[in-house]
Structure 1
Amino acid sequence: MLGSAYDERPWLALYDGDVPAAIEPRMGTLLELFAAARRDQPDRVAITYFDGRLSYRELDELSDGLACHLVEQGVGPGDRVALYLQNVPQFAIALLAGWKAGAIVVPLNPMYRSRELTKILADARPAAVVSSEQGWHDVLGELAGPAGVRVAITTSELDLQTRHDPRLFAKLERRPAAGCADLLAVARAHAGRRPPEVELSSSDVALLVYTSGTSGVPKGATNTHGNVVFNAEGMRIRVEKLGGNGIFGLAPLFHITGLVCELGAALALGRQLDLVYRFEPGVVLDALAEHRPCYMVGPSTAYMALMNHPDVTADHFSSLELVYSGGAPLPSAVVEDFRARYGHYIRNGYGLTETTATATSVPAHLEAPVLAESGTLGGCRCAQSFRTGMQVGADREADTLITSLSAIAKPHGAMPPDERCTARAGRMVESPARAGRRFREPPGRRYGPGISRVRAGEDVKTPCCASKTRGASYMDTRRPREVAVVDVPDSYRGETVKAYVSLSAGASATTEELVAHCKRQLAAYKYPRSIEILDELPKTATGKILRRELRDTARAAAR
């Protein structure tokens, strides 16, 4: 139970006058909110993509057509449709189409390679995948069949625009894949048709979004339509009174932040969403100047990269009325420098995949800190219970309890948790519907044993103990006997990844070979840029690797 201070909700006094004490979603699903926007303003721009535009009418028609194709191929309620796409309009088309078919959408990080994708596909068991052509040829094509995928659809990032900016697309060409349907072709082939009506409720699962979890294995969060609508409506309340054209897609849509706080918010608002494929500082600056959005959210590293671009000026950000950051630590120096140079205060937000993006954030009219223990923007409460003798940062460790209608009821449980992390993994329980759901986050810094912190806003996971790394290590090679991965300071990313390795008897390897192996096996944000080979990793008397000692050593060397 939350304490009496939370029952009294003293943070409500800090709310702006037109922000309600509690969010009351107008509808049960984002599909319903989208349908209302399409009905009220069908010709308004829904998505910009370089020089391309999709209206709400066109987005509806294309997603209808794709949904018809999915249904014809046997995809229906409860099936999973995986999306292996960057920030392209086809992501929104496929998301809506999957829901119109009654399916659960599974966003996949397009940086994932075979190691990560194999595990997630085996867990999610998608009936259909929608992939970029390049992603299909590079990795997904060889994994889809063994994973039981029945329907394969590909699309090109070059579609729905003609600009083809060489900073992003210089090496990209259309590569239709044998045995795969083309997304736009099948959507247009069903023009004028609507898929059969499906009954979706707020309690139905809308998304299966994979997080790094606390055990070193991705866990699928079962975000319901009600979860998505709750936070999308929260974003609507925050943004609807702003002027400007709409929302800039700085965060990736395959992450819960971009999916809900950008795409979900845009559809709930009936505003436009500006997409630029993937983050490239010069391209982002050009798009900001061209589309003049009023709202933007992204990781602190993105803001640092934009600030360091040689062509950046205050005018690039002049249309923005709200700027938020999340997903990575936000250094105060960045906040103050950004404000001094461009006149905007970057407000911080905190959330989880399990809370369907934002759980708490700085109100739009205030600056942090607001109230140390409370959430903001009605309907979500956060409490911390501090525990003696444990540490968070340099001080104390805490359990965080989040009560909100955005919190998932339960995780997707097919992937077994690592037993060593279970005690620190927290727990999730359902509470009465009116009170929302409670999610208990892991204590301390959210990372259990063997979990490094964040590299460029991404969680990085590793095996938890020496016994787990023998013969099947983080590097997936027999040469390392033991591996420990730690976070170290990085002047650009905030934190990056370093690995310590001891080799098996008689084995030999160079650090360059191990780094190259990791680069082939893991997503770019995960593989360690630095590896140090030791004769023996430090351990406790019971044989546990002393990662804290290694981390302290690495941080001291980085100073």
Structure 2
Amino acid sequence: MTLPDTSVFTNLQISALRYPDHTATIYYDAPMSYRQLLTEVEAMAGYLQAQGVKKGDRVLLYMQNSPQYAIAYYAILRADAVVIPVNPMNRAAELEHYIADTGSRVCLAGQELAGFILPMLDSTDLERVVVTSYNTYIDKETDLDLPAEVAAPAWSKDVPGVVSWEQALAGNHKPAEHTAGPDDLAVIPYSSGTTGAPKGCMHTHRSVMATAVHRAFWNLSTANTVQLATLPFFHVTGMTGSMNSPIYSGSTTIIMTRWDRTTAARLIERYRVTGWTNIVTMAVDFLSNPDIGQYDLSSLNTIGGGGAAMPEAVAAKLKAMTGLDYIEGYGLSETMAATHINPSDHPKPQCLGIPVFDVDSRIIDVETLEEKGPGEVGEIVSNGPQVTQGYWHRPAETEAAFVDIDGKRFFRTGDLAYYDEEGYFFMVDRVKRMINASGFKVWPSEVEGLMYRHPAIHEVCVISSPHPKRGETVKACIVLTPDAESSATEAEIVSWCKEQMAAYKVPEIIEFVDELPKSPTGKLMWRALQEEEWKAKA
């Protein structure tokens, strides 16, 4: 597929030129046209440049799904800067890392997150925070149930270094000429690594453009497509499927700040939603709504997602209710969402799909790098236009993440899989040590690194434990310091963790142990603990 040789921002510019009065977003019954979206993007871009944001500078984007998220994202790109999407669940230690690692001086944040980011103005190099209140963009007459963050009164505090969203827009600053091109950096989403702190995946406008365009063509999207956005925009799947791709097509996106199965069903019926990208746990919850049969879902023509394999029984229920197959796909932060998707006219259950446009994906032996044939298990490696340029300021890890095959550079995913005779890929296991809790990836080494900051912890090993709803959950096996053995409690450590890291990373189970198993060379034998845990709870 021939991709546009332009920046991602130009997709909005072109859609606004083609469809100025067409609805770009609907947010709890409040519509926004493409003309208005572009106007506010230009104003915010001008404000950012007035604050000294220059080409290539990194800007934190720390908010939940909302029209403001799309405005902020495209304003950063319009200013020739680089978006640093931050998980709204991230807390102190994680925010400090993002600011220090990227050198960001400006952050655009939701008001419910202000309490976590504002202390960074005193303790880090962060200089300016723009705070937005979601309720200023909703229809005040809506009969939809509003999440607490959306219903909350607008921000009105006077804090040094902080301006409100409205103040920033009211400055009417005009941005300079847009000069970013396809090979300039556009977005750096963070992917937690096996060696501790999260690492930034460098994506150019070209790689972000690739998945936006691929998805539009894979799903045959047009300006008349209506997409329900329930996946978070900070995550590459939501960013691509529910924001960047619809804007490329000139489509309409129905935005939800928080997941609510009843609100989702009402929005599908009310706005004749045609496409919905989600994660499996969301689809399961949606279908388990006892009142789901009351809603008209006939407008839907595509439902899909990933995060975990879709259970066959749930897929069958979805098919019976809507006549649609659940279209599964596969991708990573390093590939700006999908490298593999199931064809809509011939999907296979619990399958990653086939490589999308211009992706060369193979299975290789983890140790010898020898290429495998159909049915043989090995590591997935991929070459394609959406693959990251590497990890921000981590040349050694970048080098280790790629392998050359037939003169081409392939990214090593760390996932074990095989492909069948028709070229469909199927997941088998993970090479890397990782916990998959309801589709959220938790890297034990990162959690361990944060937990070692607790003064009572002498040693810690984080493993997965089976969970009836999440599939897996996080467990921490802890050796306490001698001073803390009589005073430390599980509840206190969990409470401390909640202040330091995203909620989905916080250990749900704490076990105090006398010692952790180690190899003769002193290496922590986490796999032994892991296997013992799953065997005990089988």
Amino acid at match of 2:153: E
Q: 1:139-538 alignment to 2 at 5 Å?
A: 139-161=116-138, 162=140, 163=142, 167-169=146-148, 172-177=152-157, 178-179=159-160, 180-190=162-172, 194-240=174-220, 245-313=225-293, 315=295, 317-368=297-348, 375-387=354-366, 398-413=378-393, 426-427=401-402, 438-442=410-414, 444=416, 445-446=429-430, 448=432, 451-463=433-445, 474=451, 476-508=453-485, 509-538=488-517
Q: Give the whole-Å Cα distance in 2 for the aligned partners of 1:326 and 1:556.
A: 27
- Structure 2 spans left out of the alignment, 5+ residues: 370-374, 417-428
Q: Give the whole-Å Cα distance in 2 for the aligned partners of 1:81 and 1:387.
A: 37
Aligned to 1:51: 29
Instruction: State whether structure 2 residue 109 is matched by structure 1 residue 127.
Output: no
Aligned-pair CA distance for 1:196: 1.4
Q: Give the whole-Å Cα distance in 2 for the aligned partners of 1:344 and 1:404.
A: 29
Task: Assess, with a 3 A threshold, how the Cα gap between structure 1 residues 293 and 184 changes in structure 2: closer, same or farther.
Answer: farther
Task: Assess, with a 3 A threshold, how the Cα gap between structure 1 residues 298 and 93 changes in structure 2: closer, same or farther.
Answer: same
Q: Give the whole-Å Cα distance in 2 for the aligned partners of 1:416 and 1:401.
A: 18
Q: Give the whole-Å Cα distance in 1 for the aligned partners of 2:350 and 2:51.
A: 52
- Deviation sequence 1:493-522 (CA, Å, 0-9, x none): 222111212222343223222222222322
SS in 1 for 2:245: helix
Question: What CA RMSD, in Å, does the superposition of the two structures yield over aligned residues?
Answer: 2.9
The answer as to whether partners of 1:133 and 1:176 remain within 8 angstroms in 2 is no
SS in 1 for 2:475: strand
Task: Assess, with a 3 A threshold, how the Cα gap between structure 1 residues 84 and 413 changes in structure 2: closer, same or farther.
Answer: same
Segment drifting more, 494-503 vs 271-280: 494-503
Instruction: State whether structure 2 residue 6 is matched by structure 1 residue 63.
Output: no
Q: Give the whole-Å Cα distance in 1 for the aligned partners of 2:194 and 2:277.
A: 25
Instruction: State whether structure 2 residue 514 is matched by structure 1 residue 541.
Output: no
Segment drifting more, 455-464 vs 271-280: 455-464
Task: Assess, with a 3 A threshold, how the Cα gap between structure 1 residues 267 and 168 changes in structure 2: closer, same or farther.
Answer: same
Amino acid at match of 1:88: S
Task: Assess, with a 3 A threshold, how the Cα gap between structure 1 residues 370 and 287 changes in structure 2: closer, same or farther.
Answer: closer
Q: Give the whole-Å Cα distance in 2 for the aligned partners of 1:442 and 1:388.
A: 12
SS in 1 for 2:43: helix
- Deviation sequence 1:186-208 (CA, Å, 0-9, x none): 32442xx7421121111100001
Q: Give the whole-Å Cα distance in 1 for the aligned partners of 2:132 and 2:403.
A: 38
SS in 2 for 1:516: helix
- Deviation sequence 1:45-93 (CA, Å, 0-9, x none): 0011011111000000011111111112211211111111100000111
Segment drifting more, 265-274 vs 406-415: 406-415
Aligned to 2:421: none
Q: Give the whole-Å Cα distance in 2 for the aligned partners of 1:388 and 1:416.
A: 19
Q: Give the whole-Å Cα distance in 2 for the aligned partners of 1:388 and 1:74.
A: 48
Q: Give the whole-Å Cα distance in 2 for the aligned partners of 1:60 and 1:331.
A: 41
The answer as to whether partners of 1:362 and 1:370 remain within 8 angstroms in 2 is no
Aligned to 1:18: none
TM-score, normalised to structure 1, is 0.85
The answer as to whether partners of 1:426 and 1:443 remain within 8 angstroms in 2 is no
SS in 2 for 1:525: helix
Q: Give the whole-Å Cα distance in 2 for the aligned partners of 1:431 and 1:156.
A: 52
- Aligned residue pairs total 514
- Deviation sequence 1:355-379 (CA, Å, 0-9, x none): 111111111211116998x833321
SS in 2 for 1:158: helix
Query: Percent of aligned positions with the same letter in both sequences?
Result: 26
